[in-house]
Amino acid sequence: MSLRLAAYAVCIENGRVLLARHMPPNGESNWTLPGGRVEHGEDPFDAVIREVAEETGCIAVVDRLLGVDSRVIPAAEARAGVEHQNVGVFYRVNITGGRLRPEPNGEIAESVWTDLSDVPGLRRSSLVDIGLSLAQALPATGHVDPVPVDGLIQH
């Protein structure tokens, strides 16, 4: 089984959420939260700030920890064909500067502010639903029920 530790930014302002359009080299694009892999020796808190800057061009300030999600993706559904566990640390962030732009030499084609009411109709990563659930519920445990993957919601 492969394992990935990642940090994700949930940025909600004026009824809109900041989403990034992920364009994998082989496959359909989908919308996701800015964020990604925590590098060896890196603190997830620092990783989420770095990832927002790399992927969106914006400067993020962490407001609070929202929670942690752990999910196992079966080998048949995983990109590498090997069972995969993703442990995601979700932070609520505020954007304090910068300018939205595509990720240079990366897989994020664009980042946009999206009305929360439009999110259910988007082809998106389950990370979006997890992050929004954590931001809305603010559970004391930092945990929400797993999001089923089906239809517009992808791994």
Which tokens hold the place of 89? 């640390």
Of 19-28, 34-43, 85-94, the range with the lowest mean pLDDT is 19-28
Residues 14, 18, 21: CA angle, nearest 5 degrees: 150
Question: Once rounded to an integer, what is the mean pLDDT over residues 56-64?
Answer: 98
| Model pLDDT for residues 62-111, shown as the tens digit of each residue | 999 999 999 998 888 887 889 999 999 999 999 999 999 999 989 999 99
**8-17, 67-76, 95-104, 113-122: the lowest-pLDDT one:** 67-76
Residue 146 has pLDDT above 90, yes or no: no
Q: What are the tokens at 34? A: 């800015």
- Proportion of the chain above pLDDT 90, given as a percent: 84
More confident residue, 1 or 42: 42
Stated pTM of the model: 0.94
Q: What integer pLDDT is reported at residue 25 of this predicted model?
A: 81
CB neighbours (10 Å) of residue 93? 26
Phi (first) and psi of residue 124, to 5 degrees: -145, 160
Residue 71's SS3 state is strand
Helix %, strand %, coil % of the chain (to 5): 20, 45, 35
DSSP-assigned letter for residue 55:
H
The pLDDT value given to residue 139: 97
Q: Distance of CA 15 to CAs 30, 51, 69, 111, Å?
A: 21, 23, 24, 16
Closest by CA to 31, choosing from 106, 112, 88, is 112
Tokens of 24: 């994998």
Q: How far apart are CA 22 and CA 154, in angstroms?
A: 12
